[in-house]
Amino acid sequence: MALLEVTNLGISFGGLRAVDEFNLSIEKGELYGLIGPNGAGKTTVFNMLTGIYKPTDGKIFLDKTDITGRKTADINKAGVARTFQNIRLFGDQSVLDNVKIGLHNSFEYGTATGILRLPKYFATEKEMNNKALEILSVFGLDSAADILASNLPYGKQRELEIARALATGPKLLLLDEPAAGMNPNETRDLMNTIALIRKEFGITILLIEHDMKLVSGICEKLTVLNFGRVLSSGLTSDVLNDPEVIKAYLGE
């Protein structure tokens, strides 16, 4: 069975059927793209996969476990991490602390230990700092560790969000428009970074993107959404040559 198996997923907001009969199957290690016109329901799919919305119908299986309708925090613990289209960092905290919050569930010490500053507090904090710096160094952000997250430049904020998601140790990483608002140079850097983290962390990635250069450059498979329904899915080259997709999204 695939790492992520989604069958007949659907959600209604009142009378609006936002996503209907959505099927998706991602094998371990794949880099999968989810594309489609604005308002097609791509982010809604992400929100259902991460438990922010509860799907009305359908099932989501991660590594054979049913995670349909579970709480967001539990789904993260099961192995799904994500970034957001409109960046959601912990802006009032340092870059380092943002990643350390991502590491929260991998390191353990109690509230009382923290208040009393027992030896375990110092030992664990040191380990967390080292681990966080290690993750930041992948993105070249380790030199900016003490800066407030909200003071980072836009492109770096996107990378920090990915770093924070990676810190939770996911099996599956969901990237919601990682290249939005980036110039061509930044997009190229981002493509390299995505390839790098895939290799370094050995994880599976599902991404939403409008930048066709990025999508065709790195995604192995694609699913195209249109009006909440799957229009086409399969290997990237096949999907991008599908006349239906060209008509609905790419333009003739």
Partner 1 sequence: MKNMNKSTQKLLSTIGVIVVLYIVLSVMEGTGNLSSLLSGLLVPVCAYSLVAVGLNLCVGYLGELSLGHAGFMCVGAFASAFFSKVFMNTIPDVPRFILSLLIGTCFAALFGFLIAIPVLRLSGDYLAIVTLAFGEIIKNVINVIYIGMDSKGLHFSMKDMLSLGMEPGGTLVVNGAQGITGTPRQSTFTLAVILLILALVITHNFVNSRTGRAVKAIRDNQIAAETVGLPITKYKLIAFTISAAIAGVGGVLYAHNINSLIATTNNFGYNMSIMILVYVVLGGIGNFSGSVVAAVVLTLLPELLRGLSTYRMLIYSIVLIALMLFNWAPSILEYRNKHGLTAAAIAAKFKKKNTKEVS
Contact range with partner 1 by CB under 8 A, out of 11-19, 110-118, 185-193, 195-203: 110-118
Element (H, E) at 32: strand 31-35
Binding of residue 165 to partner 1 (CB under 8 A): yes
Shortest Cβ 236–partner 1 spacing (Å): 27
Binding of residue 178 to partner 1 (CB under 8 A): no
From the list 28, 54, 88, 213, which residue makes contact with partner 1 (rule: CB under 8 A)? 88
Which residue in the block uniquely carries the two structure tokens 């498979």? 221
Binding of residue 53 to partner 1 (CB under 8 A): no
Region of residue 39 (phi > 0: left; psi between -120 and 50: alpha; otherwise: beta)? left
The site that binds partner 1 (CB under 8 A) totals a number of residues, namely 44
In the beta sheet, which residues pair with residue 24? Answer: 6
What is the SS3 assignment for 155-208?
HHHHHHHHHHHHHCCCCEEEEECCCCCCCHHHHHHHHHHHHHHHHHHCCEEEEE
Binding of residue 82 to partner 1 (CB under 8 A): yes
Q: Which two tokens stand for residue 114?
A: 């923290």
Contact range with partner 1 by CB under 8 A, out of 2-10, 61-69, 95-103, 235-243: 95-103
From the list 29, 39, 73, 212, which residue makes contact with partner 1 (rule: CB under 8 A)? 73
Site for partner 1 in 143-162 (CB under 8 A): 146
Contact range with partner 1 by CB under 8 A, out of 53-61, 94-102, 180-188, 216-224: 94-102
CB 174 within 8 A of CB 194: no
Least Cα distance to 57 among 19, 29, 104, 98 occurs for 19
How many angstroms separate the CA atoms of 106 and 127, rounded? Answer: 11
Q: In this structure, what DSSP letter does residue 248 have?
A: I
Q: Which residues bind partner 1 (CB under 8 A)?
A: 50-52, 71-73, 76-77, 81-82, 84, 88-94, 96-97, 100-102, 104-105, 107, 109-111, 113-117, 121, 124-125, 128-129, 146, 164-165, 167-168
